[in-house]
Chains A and B, each alone.
Chain A
């Protein structure tokens, strides 16, 4: 049945990663270089090559993921290995550096690598944690169903509003038009409802913040109270019932967007930093041999 990337094939790649790490550490332990441990000793070069190859392989995951016809293992297997070997990388690189740091391109490469690994680990965390929340939040339905329902509500409220004075139509249409659950990833992550609505106050219209349709509902309640004719009042009541319904529907949608954003946002660090790392890696290798 289903299997998480960590548990993939009885933690096959966890063991592999541990093995590799263990080998490197022991090698470093027993190695007795003629000079203080650094990237230039025989072991240093070996670990360096290993690390560099590993980095290239890890980066290649992005390609393999999109090589859909490829039969070289499954993408899940690759990701599982990507995660575990990626986590083993810092150890290898540290041993390669002989724990020497400084203000130079070599340490830059190391820092970039650490950032990439860190962001990756965060990615693993969200991948393992949030899908379940997402699913629970949707509660058996899916986003499009939710949106269909919302659009349905909008249509109905438009129709009802058409029976009422223009300010109600403004309320509905502006409420729909100015709905804003976060345009950018960042806003979605903060899960803030930036919606606004156009309300008629006295003789003028005012743009009012409308998180969770609150402003609109209050205004409607106000109107309903003021309203003389019971018939109209009933219609207004209908409208506010619809808006309450909408508010109920918007909650899970906003949460859905937030969680989805969470699932993606870490890539914004992981991918560009990887690119930078590859560049830094090139620089690191070249510069070492320019001044050999």
Chain B
């Protein structure tokens, strides 16, 4: 007999779908590749606290789910699904899905096939770990994950792989075991700086043995592995083999099923209807794969999809929330109508998938400022993206002019792209309805929809040019120029152009920052530092044929390149425009000359840039001529933040007595925010990048931060009364608090929040007895360097 539906994937979404399908009396089957349900969550570290975000969305599932430890959550689901017995099929990996409603054919890795009327894809994004692809790859002592390195002692362990995961495992294991690493290439190219340094030192020191340019030929079940090395085959006996070869992203599989993606960007989501149905009729996609990384959302979708398949109409779980959002709007329309209205009014969203738009709106705020209200101020650190659904706003530029934006247009893209402070103040010119969308949502949108990206970039270019260089240039001409613009991106240290090159155009720094240096007396002297939202190379536009300086990216930098000739034409057409450009050019030149006067100052700046402070917005610098090494800054940080210090004073390099300790510099475009499943890392209006309680301790931010200023820490014991401690010394002193023995919540990410919740500013600075600690923004570097010079 044929099945009503097959659920592929036994994660939260799949389980919930199964449970409800069962409830509705459908004839269903669940196929899970791994030997247990919720494989991803199984891989969480022990006792880790699982959050139930988003809080305001109600749970809609026949399975229970409340925030709690990994064990509790898994346990409750286990209970929920055991009655289903044989309908839950573990260790059965689906290799292909063919056909469409009502006749799908699924082929399992074993070759067996299953047919069903509908299929629900709930396989998540984790993908399956890449296997060794050698005979015996499933031997008992072969494993593809490592939960706790401390479990193993005195073993000989072979680690296959060259990625960060492999390196981290190898180093952790090498403390108590003999570790042998097998690397396909002759170096660890894919590894992070820190990991690379560590593994190299370990191999240097001989604590870890490494086979380069080698692969696994075969595995001997007796407990040995045969390697293809440069010198031929070698047999290595080992107690354990750990392969960390990354995972196979599910996309290719999904596409093989016939599902279309709007773009090639890896973060793109498949196109889905409001009922989670893909372009293949009867093939539904839910959960992380459908763009819903959070457990609760996934479970809700599982429930809903079961309803849809049973042919019942059901309002999405978020319906109530949207209704609530829209209630105060002047339109007085239903949820779907309002969404339609927004789409219709904002050209930007014209061809955005309905579900995605719904998600966007759900994540966004609807502002209704009246005439004269400030929507955001210049130098605010907000980076949300504003779309005018109704009404008009005025953008106040530096020279006091006002640019009127009207219904359907958007603003705030500068901060959105550059991650920097707001460039201008925006006021409502009339009663407005404005959709304020969080940065990450729009970024995701841009990655999925080329049109959206293009439109936003164009506006960015035009507005940057008008703001700085050519305020009174006619809009359409600028737009024409923008059309010719090309996107460039540079890695840290890359050269945008060299001193003496042809001055062929202008770079708008879209994100990141660059340093301008000139070659004087045989060495490069940094003369200035240009941050995102500004432009370099404008000198080329006022007649100089050659570049007068070298421009380097201090951090990963995107720039928009404008051809000189196009630009020159415009200048010729508009008299007065030229003078203005020359004026700005002259200012730059004079500043540069001033810096050239004192090379040391330049050296200090380039040193700071080397520390990646180019992308900083606020950085802790220590004057070593004043620092007595009392570590009161660390203690202050720890005691004002639950016992864990977010900064390491001693670590970090120094130059000209300026020491850059390991502490967050609140990047313009924070690396840590890039990949935070619960979106727990936020930026406060004043620029502080901080971690919310909703952190699930996944450690992504820790890995993503190139400056190692984020750590995973469990909660610390209570601090004793200060006076009591001073008198008796009982209990831990400042900065000496130990981690709680029984911490249910598990480790969470902690990082500097610039003490935004403390009145009086950063505790580290206020606690420095000698005034050695100082927090400044890069714009003040020049001032600082003058002192050094």
Contact = CB atoms under 8 A, between A and B. Distances in A.
Interface of A: 1-5, 8, 62-63, 65-69, 71, 74-76, 78-79, 127, 130-132, 134-135, 138, 140-144, 152, 155-156, 159, 260, 263
Interface string B648-685: 00111111010100000000000000000000000000
B734 A66 contact: yes
A156 B624 contact: no
Given A69-B640, A131-B627, 13 more contacts: A1-B774, A1-B784, A69-B758, A75-B768, A127-B770, A131-B626, A135-B625, A135-B627, A135-B659, A142-B650, A142-B654, A155-B206, A155-B207
A65 B632 contact: yes
A135 B651 contact: no
Q: Which of B635, B640, B763, B769 has most A Cβ within 10 Å?
A: B769
B538 interface: no
Interface in B707-750: 722-723, 726, 734
A134 B769 contact: no
B778 to A, nearest CB: 14
Contact of B771 (A5, A63, A66, A140): A5
Contacts of B767: 65, 68, 74-75
Given A63-B726, A68-B763, A156-B205, A132 B624 contact: yes
A131 B624 contact: yes
Q: Which of A2, A78, A79, A155 has most B Cβ within 10 Å?
A: A2
Contacts, number: 117
Contact of B766 (A75, A152, A159): A75
A140 B654 contact: yes
B772 interface: yes
A142 B652 CA distance: 7
B763 A66 contact: no
A161 B325 CA distance: 74
A140 B768 contact: no
Nearest to B621: A2
Interface in B459-503: none
B365 interface: no
Contacts of A68: 635-636, 639-640, 734, 763, 766-767
A63 B723 contact: yes
A3 B776 CA distance: 14
14 contacts: A1-B774, A2-B626, A2-B774, A5-B771, A66-B635, A66-B639, A68-B734, A71-B758, A71-B760, A71-B766, A134-B629, A155-B206, A156-B205, A260-B629
Contacts of A143: 650
Nearest to A148: B201
Nearest to B653: A140
B624 A4 contact: no
Contact of A1 (B206, B636, B758, B787): B787
B783 interface: yes
B650 A69 contact: no
A65 B650 CA distance: 20
B206 to A, nearest CB: 6
B545 interface: no
B726 A75 contact: no
Given A68-B763, A263-B629, A62 B726 contact: yes
A167 B304 CA distance: 76
Interface residues on B, range: 35 or more
Nearest to B760: A71
Contacts of A134: 624, 629
A132 B769 contact: no
B628 interface: yes
B132 to A, nearest CB: 32
B623 interface: yes
B772 A2 contact: yes
Nearest to B788: A1
B770 A138 contact: no
B759 interface: yes
B777 to A, nearest CB: 13
A76 B654 contact: no
A281 B650 CA distance: 40
Q: Which of A78, A138, A142 has most B Cβ within 10 Å?
A: A142
Contacts of B763: 68-69
Contacts of B783: 1
A235 to B, nearest CB: 16
A140 B655 contact: yes
Contacts of A155: 205-207
Contact of B650 (A3, A63, A144): A144
Nearest to A79: B769
A134 B649 CA distance: 15
A74 to B, nearest CB: 5
Given A1-B774, A1-B783, A68-B763, A76 B635 contact: no
Contacts of A67: 722
A75 B20 CA distance: 61
A63 B726 CA distance: 8
B651 A142 contact: yes
A82 to B, nearest CB: 9
A4 B623 CA distance: 10
Contacts of A65: 632, 767, 769
Interface string B583-627: 000000000000000000000000000000000000000011111
Interface in B244-278: none
B628 A263 contact: yes
A132 B657 contact: yes
Contacts of B758: 69, 71
Given A4-B771, A66-B726, A135 B657 contact: yes
A85 to B, nearest CB: 15
Nearest to B641: A68
Contact of A131 (B628, B650, B760, B780): B628
Nearest to B205: A155
A283 B766 CA distance: 36
Contacts of A130: 628
A84 to B, nearest CB: 14
Contacts of A132: 624-625, 657
Contacts of B627: 131, 135
Q: Which of A74, A143, A263 has most B Cβ within 10 Å?
A: A74
A1 B601 CA distance: 14
A207 to B, nearest CB: 28
Q: Which of B650, B759, B760, B766 has most A Cβ within 10 Å?
A: B766
A5 B628 contact: no
A250 B759 CA distance: 44
A75 B769 contact: yes
A65 B295 CA distance: 45
Contacts of A8: 771
Given A68-B763, A71-B760, A135-B625, A152 B784 contact: no
B737 to A, nearest CB: 13
A67 B767 CA distance: 9
A263 B769 CA distance: 13
A130 B625 CA distance: 8
A76 B636 CA distance: 13
B769 A76 contact: yes
Q: What are the 6 tightest A-B residue pairs by CB atom distance, in nearest-first order? A: A135-B624, A71-B760, A2-B623, A68-B636, A76-B771, A132-B625
Nearest to B656: A140
B205 A152 contact: yes
Nearest to A2: B623
Contact of A127 (B628, B653, B726): B628
Interface in B287-341: none
A1 B621 CA distance: 10
B268 to A, nearest CB: 44
Nearest to B763: A68
Nearest to B207: A155
A74 B624 CA distance: 19
A63 B758 CA distance: 19
B657 A5 contact: no
Contacts of A63: 722-723, 726
A63 B721 CA distance: 11
A66 B787 CA distance: 31
A3 B734 CA distance: 26
